């Protein structure tokens, strides 16, 4: 059974980089699937951030693309999110997700609240 677990700091200072990791168990990320990040805030609702395929191809939300990097580490069986130059508007619950399709997510992590504040 594929399971996902987000980890990372719950508090990030404005202008710094938000860095999160999603650990994958029950499946090898090098075997396939699209591995993605989605966030949720009261102001913006659910917002797709982007995803990475096991081939290394990446797909980003155009509105965040200039600040986002998503990558996969097959040796650790995890993938990560980096979001640069954060502001209070980036405060949200961050979820990692996965699916065999690039179009939606069947598997979700439990979510991690990240607050941007000094």
Question: By the criterion CB under 8 A, which residues form the site for another protein?
Answer: 38, 45-48, 59, 61-62, 95, 99, 101-106, 108-111
Q: Which of 65, 117, 109, 110 is nearest to 90 (CA)?
A: 117
Q: Which of 103, 96, 50 is nearest to 77 (CA)?
A: 96
Distance CA 33, CA 108 (A): 13
Of 49 and 72, nearer to another protein (C-beta) is 49
Write down the least CB distance from residue 65 to another protein, Å. Answer: 10
Of 10 and 62, nearer to another protein (C-beta) is 62
Write down the least CB distance from residue 115 to another protein, Å. Answer: 17
In the three-class reduction of DSSP (H, G, I as helix; E, B as strand; rest coil), residue 69 is classed as: strand
Write down the least CB distance from residue 111 to another protein, Å. Answer: 5
């Amino acid at each position: 059974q594929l399971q996902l677990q987000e980890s990372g700091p719950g508090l990030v200072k404005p202008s710094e980089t938000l860095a999160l990791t999603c650990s994958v168990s029950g499946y090898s990320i090098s075997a396939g699937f699209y591995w993605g990040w989605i966030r949720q805030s009261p102001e913006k609702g659910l917002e797709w951030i982007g995803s990475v395929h096991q081939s290394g191809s990446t797909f980003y939300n155009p509105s965040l693309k200039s600040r986002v990097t998503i990558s996969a580490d097959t040796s650790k069986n995890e993938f990560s999110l980096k979001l640069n130059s954060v502001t209070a508007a980036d405060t949200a619950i961050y979820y990692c997700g996965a699916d065999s399709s690039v179009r939606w997510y069947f598997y979700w992590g439990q979510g991690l609240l990240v607050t941007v504040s000094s």
